[in-house]
Every structure is written in structure tokens, then in C-alpha cells.
Amino acid sequence: MITDLNATLSTLSNFRETGLAFNIRCTPDIFTGESLNIGICIVGSDGARTGRVITETGRLACLYGEESAGGIVQLAQIALCEALKGKPSPSPNIVFDEPTPIYNQSPLEALDDLFASQVTIAIPMRLIAPTRLPATPTNRVIAKLYNLMRQSDSDAANQIIPSSPQTVVNTRKGTRAVQIALQPAHGGGIVQSAAYRPQTLRSHLLNALLDLEWAAEARDLKRLGFFIVRPGNWPDIKQLEVDRAIDDVVDRIPTRIRVEVESDLNLITDHIFDWAQAA
């Protein structure tokens, strides 16, 4: 019995609370009371917040029609901005659930896992694909990159890594939540995984570029960077498709933005330090 108790206590000691998470829920019709999870917000152990909400109508259009679904997506973006600022729900149609602890995961990694498991309305359809490509979500890449940067030069890393990669900026088109993973003095940098199918990758890269442009305009950022991490273990034909998608977008990036594309996170780390420290 004592042995079993010690084993249980040992197991519990391995659980390290790394933050809190709560669902962002929407009730499109207050009369019916039907609620849907439309996003996730994470509050790190340091109080920094990051979140993710639906960005496409997807299954919502089937349930509520395209126009109403579009309104829900817009409301989700507004709710995300308020959640990131620690403010209450902006609408009676939106509820921020009670936060619950997350364990043994960085906030960015937990965000991806919880969004996939909790916000099922974001999935356009369930695919059964035995040859499905391995995925490396951008948030996981950012988390790994942060660790490498801190291991390489903790003092320099602390000058670049923000408390949260996500921030809210005021633009000429309203308040927006943008993800700027690298924030040296007077600068902003995007980190983007390229481990997606080509069409999805183009969309992610263009959205990330828009985030950077919004942040640069809102905060008068002078030093801008765009760091793309290529998958290093895909079949040649799939890698070629990814490279073409990257080239399509990189060709559109203004020359004032430094762009680096690498498969090796250590090389990306070196590029980031060089970019951040450049005069």
C-alpha cells in the first residue's frame, strides 16, 4: 500500500501547471440557447495571453447560412481581441468559460491541441487519408525556436521573445489580433512553419504577412523580418510543391522585410539573432 501511494505521489509530482485555458463559446441565437466552441484562450503562468478562434465559416454556413456564419466569424475576432486584453465578453452571445489548468505543455502547444479537440466547428470535414502528410503547426515551431534561442543566448533571446507572440493592435480598419513571434526593440518578426499543403501554406503566409504589415503600421516598426521553416523530411515531390508555394509569396514580400527560409531551426536561430542585432 505504501509503495502504491509513493508511486501515485511520484506521478502527481510530474504534473507541472503551465497556465490556464478557457473556451470561447458563442450562442448564435439566444432564444434557442444552442452554444458552440469558437475559440480557445490560454493564460500563461506569467499572465501572458494567447488565443485562437475560427477564421472561416466552414460548418457554420451549413448550420446558419453564409451571412449569419460570417457574422459569427467576425464576432469571434472581436471576442479574441477582448480575451487577449483580459476584458470581459463583448457580447451576450459570447461566453468566456471558467479557466482550467493546463499541464506540462507550453501555452502555444496547448493552444493547438485544445483548439483541435474543442473547436470541432472549425473542421470543414473529417478526412480519412492513410497517406496524410505529417504536420508541424506554426505554434509548435515557435515554441521549439524559443527554446533554442534561450539555450543559445538567453540574454539576447529575452530581448526578442515577447511575453506572448500574440498582440492586439489598432489599425485603420479596426482592432486586430496579430501574431508577432519576434519583438526586438522597434522591430517585429514573423515565424511561420511551411509544413502545410501548398494552398493552405499560401494562405498562412499571406495572412502572416498581413499581420506583420498591420503591426508595423500600428506601432511604427522599423525592423521587420519573416522567417519560414521548411519541412525537412517530406518526399521530394511534396517538398517541391511547398517550395513553389513559398516562392509565390516571398516574391510579393517588400524588400524592406528581411526574409529567411531554412529547414534547420539552428540556422533560423542564427538568422534571427543577426537580424535583431543589425543596426
144/273 same-domain check? yes
Closest CA to 258 of 214, 228, 226, 213: 226
68/193 same-domain check? no
Handedness of CA 92, 80, 140, 144 (dihedral sign): negative
39/145 same-domain check? no
What average pLDDT does this structure show over 103-117? 88
Q: Based on the structure, what is the number of domains in the chain?
A: 2
pLDDT of residue 248: 95
- Spatial separation of the C-alpha atoms in residues 197 and 245, rounded to whole Å: 9
213/246 same-domain check? yes
Domain of residue 34, residue span: 18-122
Residue 11 lies in a domain: no
Residue 5 lies in a domain: no
118/87 same-domain check? yes
Residue 127 lies in a domain: no
What average pLDDT does this structure show over 216-232? 94
Residue 189 lies in a domain: yes
163/94 same-domain check? no
pLDDT of residue 132: 46
Q: Domain ends where: 62, 97, 122? A: 122
Q: Lowest mean pLDDT of 2-6, 34-38, 49-53, 250-254, name the range.
A: 2-6
Residue 29: DSSP 8-state = -
Closest CA to 258 of 243, 278, 231: 278
6 pLDDT more than 70 = no
Q: What residues contact residue 153 under an 8 Å CB cut-off, 6+ apart? A: 273
> For residue range 125-177, what is the model confidence (pLDDT) as tens digits?
444 444 445 556 888 899 999 999 999 999 999 999 998 889 899 888 788 89
26/110 same-domain check? yes
pLDDT of residue 155: 94
Does 11 or 67 have the greater pLDDT score?
A: 67
